[in-house]
Amino acid sequence: MLNRIFGLETEYGLLIHEDRPDHSPTWFAHQIRDHLFQVQRRGLLDLHHRGHDEPPGNGGFLTNGGRVYLDMGHLEYASPECHSLSDVVASDRAGDLLIQQAIEALGVSDHVSLIKNNIDHETDATFGSHENYLVSRRFPFSRRGLAPLLTFLVTRQIFTGAGRVGAARPQDAWIQMDRLIVPRTAVGARGGVNLPFQISQRSDYIVNDFFEWVQHNRAIVNTRDEPLADPNEYRRIHLLLGDSNMAEYATALKLGTTGLVLQLIEEGLAPQGLEIDEPVEALQEISQDQERNWLIRLQSQRTISALDIQEQFLDCGIRHCQGQDEETDWVLAQWASVLQDLRGDYQKLVGRVDWASKLWLLECFRESERLDWGDPLLKSLDLEYHNLNHAKGLYYGLLEEGRVPRLTTDALIQMAMDQAPKNTRAYGRSALVRHLLGSGEAMDSDRSGTPEGLFPAYVINWSIFQVRGRAPFPMPDPFRTYLDDVRAHLEPIIV
């Protein structure tokens, strides 16, 4: 799409099918990581501290330009930088397959399930699905400038939500009010409502409209300024309110529509006058609305539906963006199609929208087994929708039945497991990782006792790397591949 770099970060749940397991989920996460890097040699483990919670060996970059690492004990996969929706969907699927195949290679697939969802029904924990969008540094990153994005994000869950049984308990969090930081409970925040089903998994866990922190104070728009690129040219919009999608269609539509709305904001063409009165409450009310009317109140005190708001953004996108490239036209056409179908029977969306697919499966099972929504079996089926084992996952059952449209192919996913997109800097990083994997000297991280042994064999970050004995090599432009430059930089140390 036009002037856009996309990226996804997925935190995986890990379910052990034993009443009294010998090992914890974190232990299995370590085994999976070590198998990927040390046995399959899919990439290079970090040799340096990336932070106080990321010691050497915690994770590393892959040959496809992405990363696998442990975050607070669970596995996380970050896709490489992608310049197209087709690449980001394939790269996202590649991460799923990399980790699932590692489980199978370790011989524990009968005992352990990898779950690509955002909630733990037992502990009420939440796992993130973070989206990254590169924008110009001139992007109006202020409350006023971001107001259209806030409205869009609150309402887009009607087609991006993954759905869940029940609701989360009230969140113990602090929010910003004017210049004060106060407990959310002090402003009458509600939660813990007994619900049969809601359309989003993450909405219950979002407690702010804008905030910099990412844990316990999750915001609709995360405000930290970490571009991972030239800070004079770029800003990275980092979102953590979204659900992990199983449907390729939903993933592409989520990223594509958000990318177009960012373009409209950049160009000063986004719809105006749609500021929501209480964005966090509206986010949760839309998710929890059992009638699916999805009505919210604007700051103007006008009541409007999420569907009507989305159609205003769509109309604006058609007027200003249609015809600029093939992917844009696909997004606009599918955006229109899904909004139209949302006005009718939700079953029309099965295979394209995750919450609709899950709800249909659960309703079918409830009717056949004569269960009410309080039956714990439904929570188990909720998780099974996200099981990445193709023989067990309910989503893959829909896929086998031909109910799920594909945006990529198995062959492209297999390729994305090993190869980076060829039109972003991930391509140059991939060449670096491959070179170091084949270099005995560079992989010798045990050298010590000499001054040069104090520096690790390599240090790799998203926008810069350094190989021992060579100057740092910055890669500030995510749109450049740097392939020839990386090869030239490494040539003198090839042995």
**Structural domain contains residue 194:** yes
If one counts the domains in the chain, the total is 2
Could you say which of 295, 320, 344 is where a domain stops?
Answer: 344
Q: What is the pLDDT of residue 73?
A: 86
Could you say which of 344, 365, 394 is where a domain stops?
Answer: 344
- Per-residue pLDDT tens digits for 342-376: 999 999 999 999 999 999 999 999 999 999 999 99
Q: Give yes or no: residues 309 and 456 share one domain.
A: no
**Structural domain contains residue 124:** no
Q: Give yes or no: residues 67 and 183 share one domain.
A: no
Q: Give yes or no: residues 339 and 214 share one domain.
A: yes
Q: Give yes or no: residues 54 and 185 share one domain.
A: no
Residues labelled as active-site residues: 71
Nearest Cα residue to 139 out of 270, 265, 228:
265
> In b/e form, how buried is each residue of 389-423, taking b as 16+ CB within 10 angstroms?
beeebbbbbbbeeeebeebbeeebbeebbebbbeb
CB 204 within 8 Å of CB 283: no
Q: Could you tell me the pTM of the whole model?
A: 0.93
> In sequence order, what are the residues at sequence separation of 6 or more whose Cβ sits closer than 8 angstroms to the Cβ of residue 19?
none
**Structural domain contains residue 97:** yes
CA–CA gap between residue 27 and residue 18 (Å, rounded): 15
**Structural domain contains residue 55:** yes
CA–CA gap between residue 4 and residue 82 (Å, rounded): 8
H-helix or E-strand containing 197?
Answer: strand 197-198
- As a whole number, the mean pLDDT across the chain is 92
Q: Give yes or no: residues 160 and 105 share one domain.
A: no
- Per-residue pLDDT tens digits for 3-60: 899 999 999 999 999 888 889 999 999 999 999 999 999 999 999 998 778 899 999 9
Of the chain, the percentage scoring pLDDT greater than 70 comes to 91
Residue 473: C-alpha distances to residues 8, 21, 151, 269, 326 (Å): 25, 46, 40, 38, 35
Read off the DSSP letter of residue 232. Answer: T
Beta bridge partners of 70: 75
Could you say which of 328, 344, 360 is where a domain stops?
Answer: 344
Q: Give yes or no: residues 112 and 143 share one domain.
A: no
Q: Give yes or no: residues 221 and 300 share one domain.
A: yes
- Per-residue pLDDT tens digits for 121-136: 988 889 889 999 999 9
**Structural domain contains residue 387:** no
Q: Give yes or no: residues 104 and 226 share one domain.
A: no
CA–CA gap between residue 224 and residue 218 (Å, rounded): 12
**Structural domain contains residue 360:** no
| Domain membership of residue 77 as a residue range | 1-116+408-495
Q: Give yes or no: residues 175 and 315 share one domain.
A: yes
Q: Give yes or no: residues 23 and 67 share one domain.
A: yes
**Structural domain contains residue 392:** no
Nearest Cα residue to 457 out of 492, 493, 427, 488:
493
Tell me whether strands 219-222 and 208-211 are parallel, antiparallel or unpaired: parallel
Q: Which residue has the higher pLDDT, 90 or 169?
A: 90
H-helix or E-strand containing 177?
Answer: strand 174-177
> In sequence order, what are the residues at sequence separation of 6 or more whose Cβ sits closer than 8 angstroms to the Cβ of residue 29?
14, 70, 73, 74, 75
Q: Give yes or no: residues 110 and 159 share one domain.
A: no
H-helix or E-strand containing 337?
Answer: helix 326-342
Number of H helices, E strands in the chain: 15, 20
Main-chain phi, psi angles of 195, to 5 degrees: -125, 145
Q: What is the pLDDT of residue 424?
A: 98
Q: Give yes or no: residues 157 and 93 share one domain.
A: no
Q: What is the pLDDT of residue 215?
A: 61
> In sequence order, what are the residues at sequence separation of 6 or more whose Cβ sits closer than 8 angstroms to the Cβ of residue 314?
332, 335, 336, 339
Residue 377: C-alpha distances to residues 170, 368, 370, 372, 382 (Å): 24, 13, 12, 10, 9
